[in-house]
Structure 1
Amino acid sequence: MLNDLILGIINFFTSTLAGITGLGGGTILLGLMPMFLPASAIIPIHGTTQLASNISRVWFGRQELDFTYFRPFVVGAVVGVVFFGTAVKFVQLDLIPLFIAIYILLTQWSKTINRLLKSLENFYLIGFLQTGIGLFVGAPGPLHMPLLMKKYDNNDVVVTVGSLMMTLIHVLKLTVYVILGFAFFEYWQVILFMVVSASLGSWAGVKLRNRLPMNWVKTALPYILTIIALKIIYDNAVKFGWIAF
């Protein structure tokens, strides 16, 4: 119960952050979840939580919705879930936290990876890659945000359309884990805490978006995520016996 409550509180703040800035919240939450949940439950529960967070963000910002670039994103995402979904069942679930940590470090510090990701100028390809990455590391990162910021001048539209795209990714991801037989009901309590806190955080984020300056987040985020990623790597190195005392 205490772990569930702590995760709910963390989720409220990360959802609020995402509601204000459109980025960072889901990745921070994902990096902290291995401290509270078994490896096999991280991606499905994170997906459930982020689905609630993004749906609520879309609802609270629905007046800003635009579907122009959502349609090609849908096509790419559906192809991505079919292509990558068959590979998930062959992955050793105990290694998922390590995948998450390595992905976080690469996206925060590898200039090559970042140039490659930022060069994506096609919503078909972005939808395909975000869905595929999301199946293995949970939070595929804001691959769609740079292009959305080029397409829209209004930050409210960028955040709302981006949240709609992430909603689709989490729906597809959870569908795959349902098919694989993940027992969501066994985790109903933590899911309930996190869905409620995600929705409240989204509401708070929308209300605070134009009132609370958060430019410092973009500067601090890489360092916050790096600390989280290194903690995950250290914990798993101890767990698998790669570090002996």
Structure 2
Amino acid sequence: MFNEIMLAVLNFLTSLLTAVSGLGGGMILIGLMPMFLPALAIIPVHGATQLASNASRAWFGRNKIDWRNVYPFLLGSLLGVAVFGMAVRFIELQMIPLFIGVYILLIQWSKTVNRWLKSMQNFYLIGFLQTGLGIFVGSPGPLNMPLLIQKYDDNDTVIAMSAIQQSILHSAKVLIYVAMGFAFWEYWQVVLAMVVSAILGSWVGVRIRSYVPASFLKRMLPWLLTALAIKVIISNLITLGWVQLSWFGLG
């Protein structure tokens, strides 16, 4: 029960954060989940709960959704599922936390990666890559945000559009893991607790958005995500046996 309660609380807070600032919550959550769940369950459980978080946020902001830019993303996502969905079957699931940690660091600090992300001006391509990467690393980061910010001046529209696009990719991710035979029913308690807390976090976040300094939150996010990524990487390397606790004076 401790794990379920902690994950529900964390999901409420990260869902609230994303509802306020538009990004960051999903990556923080995926960085924390290896502390509470086995590696094989991280991505599918994260997908189910983030689907609830983003779908609820999209519903609360539905009057701001520009459907003209949703359909290209959807088509790109379907292609991403077809390509990356086959590749994930050949990945060692115990290494997924390592992929997550490295990916978070690249997103936060690699100028080359960020230039590449900003260069994408096409929702078809973004849908393809964001959905494909999501299958491996859970929360693929703000690939769609630069283009959304470029197209829309209204922050509420940016957040609503990001939410509906993220709902698409997390739906695809859940379907992939169902097809692979992941037993969601074995984790129904934690999924239920996190889904409820995600919806509640979205509801609260939308209502306090105008009162919270989102710019401050965005400045703090890279440092928090970096600390989480380093912990995830070291913990996974120890689990895989590639690093020994004695190296840190702990064993």
Length-normalised TM-score, structure 2: 0.96
Question: C-alpha distance in 2, partners of 1:179/1:157?
Answer: 33
Aligned to 2:125: 125
Letter in 2 for 1:57: R
Once residues 31 and 2 of structure 1 are traced to their aligned partners in structure 2, the CA distance between those partners, rounded to angstroms, is 18
Counterpart position of 1:21:
21
Structure 2 unaligned blocks of 5 or more: 247-251
Using the TM superposition, give the Cα deviation of residue 156 of structure 1 relative to its aligned residue in structure 2, in angstroms: 0.7
Specify the alignment match of 2:188 in structure 1: 188
Instruction: Note the aligned Cα RMSD (angstroms).
Output: 0.8
Q: Structure 1, residues 42-95: CA drift from partner, whole Å, max 9, x if none? A: 000000000000110011111212111111111111111101100111110000
Match of 1:182, SS state, is coil
Q: Over residues 187-243 of structure 1, what are the superposed CA-to-partner deviations in whole Å (9 max), with x where a residue is unaligned?
A: 000001100000000001100111211211221111101100110111122222222
Q: Which amino acid aligns with 1:169?
A: L
> Offset of 1:144 from its aligned partner?
0.7
Partner of 2:209: 209
Task: Report whether the alignment pairs 1:91 with 2:91.
Answer: yes
**Which residue pairs with 2:45 in the alignment?**
45
The one-letter amino acid paired with 1:239 is T
Partner in structure 2 of residue 170 of structure 1: 170
Question: How many percent identity over aligned positions?
Answer: 57
Deviation at 1:6, TM superposition (A): 0.5
Give, in whole Å, the separation in 1 of the partners of 2:37 and 2:197: 17
Aligned to 2:68: 68
1:157 counterpart letter in structure 2? T
Distance in 1, matches of 2:224 and 2:82, equals 33
SS in 2 for 1:181: coil
Matches within 5 A, 1:25-36: 25-36=25-36
What is the rounded CA distance, in whole Å, between the counterparts of 1:243 and 1:86 in structure 2? 31
Q: In structure 1, give the amino acid aligned to 2:146.
A: P
Asked whether the 8 Å contact 2:98–2:237 carries over to 1, the reply is: no
Within the alignment, does 1:154 sit opposite 2:158 as a pair? Answer: no
Amino acid at match of 2:152: Y
Q: Which amino acid aligns with 2:8?
A: G
Matched positions, count = 245
Quote the Cα distance in structure 1 between the aligned partners of 2:112 and 2:56. 34
Distance 2:26 2:166 in 1: 10
Moved over 3 A (4+): none
Q: Equivalent residue for 1:199?
A: 199
CA distance in 1, matches of 2:76, 2:9: 34
Using the size of structure 1 for normalisation, the TM-score is 0.98
Taking the aligned partners of 1:69 and 1:57, their CA distance within structure 2 comes to 17
1:117-164 C-alpha deviation (Å, 9 max, x unpaired): 111111110000001100000001111111111111111111001100
1:11 corresponds to which residue?
A: 11
Partner of 2:249: none
